[in-house]
Amino acid sequence: MDNLTHTLAATALAKTRWFSGSPRVAAALVVAANAPDVDGVLRFWPDLFREQHRGVSHSIVGLVVEAAALAVMFAARDARLLTAIVVGLASHPALDFLNTYGIRPWLPFDGRWIYGDTLFVVDPWIWLLLGGATALAGPRTRWGSATLTAALGLTSWVVFTNERSSPTIARIWAAGVLVLAVARATDVGRARPDACIAVFLSALALYVAALAGLGARAEREGVEAIRPLLPPGETVVATSRSPEAARPFEWTVLVETERAVYRRMARVGSDPTSLVRYEKNFDDPLVARALLDPKARRWRSFARYPIAFVREEGGRRYVDLFDARYLVSGVPQLFSVRIPVSP
């Protein structure tokens, strides 16, 4: 998930009676909730980033090391501060697991990925729920109001300007923000912060459970629609689903066979809006040669649905390696690799 989500999860927890009343404890929660993303510095080296992001820093071993480092950093000696560090760290992979990127909890001993396939990596409705918990639970302060106003401005700008958004999403967002603003102004949740947090976290749990159910249905419908279209000799070997941002009824379903990956975009209970087949092309000699490149081997450790395209530009041939989860109009991006295979 994005770092704003991780931060809002920490600030919501900081409003509970166990963690409230200490800026140091709140700071420990926020820092710990974001600490596993220290591997983000590798974004300047895309090959390393693909290989290492959500790697050891997100694993059980990494979290133990980070907990020890943060305990020293915050000079944590009391149970509340130590608990804040552990809870903040644990919240990070718990949220990250829920999207299609996945985590590798058993590194460095086992590099297998596990995927929740339930949440889009950026979800404004989760911002609204966790932000609402933070805004309404417990006492109000000027510093808190200023910080919440800044966060509201940032998130509203994203919702209103992002190409994935829509007028309906913008209207729902505006209505939700208005309700929270009125509730904060009238002191809703101020006297009973734990009950307030419980309400919002219960709503979050129901939202995630609803998405899991809708996603399972979308995946089932997608596989049932694609299976009759498979050429003779092809069978389904893997499937997954991912929700569209802020649209819980709209999903992308991926179905992998021995030779291809199918991408179906549809609304739950409706006819599919599109169906695309991507050949893997791994039997092409040029692709086989490209896969021996060290950059390609690092890419394979990340790719869940690997596919390849052989292209020719300026008299040279290249193999473009993609993960079908993140393929957008065949345009190279962070999660793709280009390997030259001829002069």
Residue 134, φ and ψ in degrees, nearest 5: -65, -40
Residue 270 has pLDDT above 90, yes or no: no
Task: List the Cα angle 262/220/232 in 5-degree steps.
Answer: 45
Q: CA 269, CA 214: separation in Å to the nearest integer?
A: 10
Confidence of residue 123 (pLDDT cuts 50, 70, 90): very high
Per-residue pLDDT, averaged over 21-34, amounts to: 94
Q: Where are the domains of the chain?
A: 1-115, 212-279, 285-340
Residue 332 has pLDDT above 60, yes or no: no
Count CB neighbours of 24 within 10 A.
Answer: 14
Per-residue pLDDT, averaged over 44-61, amounts to: 88
Residue 179 has pLDDT above 90, yes or no: yes
- Segment 153-177, tens digit of pLDDT: 999 999 999 888 889 999 999 999 9
For 228, what's the count of Cα atoms within 13 Å in the CB-facing half-sphere? 3
Beta strands in 111-246 (DSSP E): 236-244
Model-wide pTM > 0.85: yes
| pLDDT of 53 | 87
Helix, strand, coil shares, percent, the chain, to 5 = 55, 15, 30
Distance of CA 168 to the CA centre of its chain: 23
| pLDDT of 319 | 93
Per-residue pLDDT, averaged over 192-198, amounts to: 94
Point out the least confidently predicted range of 46-55, 130-139, 217-226: 46-55
3-state class (DSSP) for residue 259: coil
Per-residue pLDDT, averaged over 128-154, amounts to: 91
